[in-house]
Amino acid sequence: MKKVLIILALSLGFVVTATAQQEGRPERTPEKMAERSAAHLAEKLELDDAQKQKIYEIQLQHAAERKSEMEALRKQMQARREAQQAEISAVLTPEQKEKWEAMHQQRKERSEAWSGRRGERRGEQPMHRKRGGYPGPQRGGPRSNS
C-alpha cells in the first residue's frame, strides 16, 4: 500500500511539472508546428529547400486538420457533459439541486483560484522553505548513532 501511494505521489508530481512547463510555451499554431517539424526534418535528413517547402506544406495541412478535429471533439464533449448534467438534475430534488449547484460553484472557484496562482509562484522557493519549515537534509555534519 505504501508503494502504491508513493507511486501515485510521484506520478502526480510529474504531471504537475509537465503542466507547469507547458504554461510558459508560446501558442502552438498549425503554422508554427509545421515550421518546427519541417526544420527538424530538414536538419536530420539534410533536405534541400524544395523538399523542406513540400514537407512544410504537408505538415501544415495535417496540423490544421488536427486542430479542427480537436475543436470539434471539444465541442462534442462539452455537449455530452451538459446533457449528463441535465439528466442528473432531473433526478434531484430542489434541495439536492441547490447543494449540487453550490458544489459546482465551489469547484469552479477553486479551479479559477488555482489557475490564477500557478503563474504567481513560478521561480520562487517552495512554500515550506519560505515559512521556515523543513529545511531539507543537513549535509557534512557529524552523524550520531543514537
Tell whether the model's pLDDT for residue 120 goes beyond 90: no
Residue at 12: amino acid letter: L
Q: SS3 sequence, the chain?
A: CHHHHHHHHHHHHHHHHHHHHHHCCCCCCHHHHHHHHHHHHHHHHCCCHHHHHHHHHHHHHHHHHHHHHHHHHHHHHHHHHHHHHHHHHHHCCHHHHHHHHHHHHHHHHHHHHHHHHHCCCCCCCCHHHHCCCCCCCCCCCCCCCC
Q: How confident is the model at residue 146 (pLDDT cuts 50, 70, 90)?
A: very low
Task: Find the angle CA(103)-CA(105)-CA(109) to the nearest 5 degrees.
Answer: 120
Does the pLDDT value for residue 23 go beyond 70?
A: no
Predicted local distance difference test score (pLDDT) of residue 28: 81
Q: What percent of the chain has pLDDT over 70?
A: 62
Pull the grid cell for residue 64. Answer: 490544421
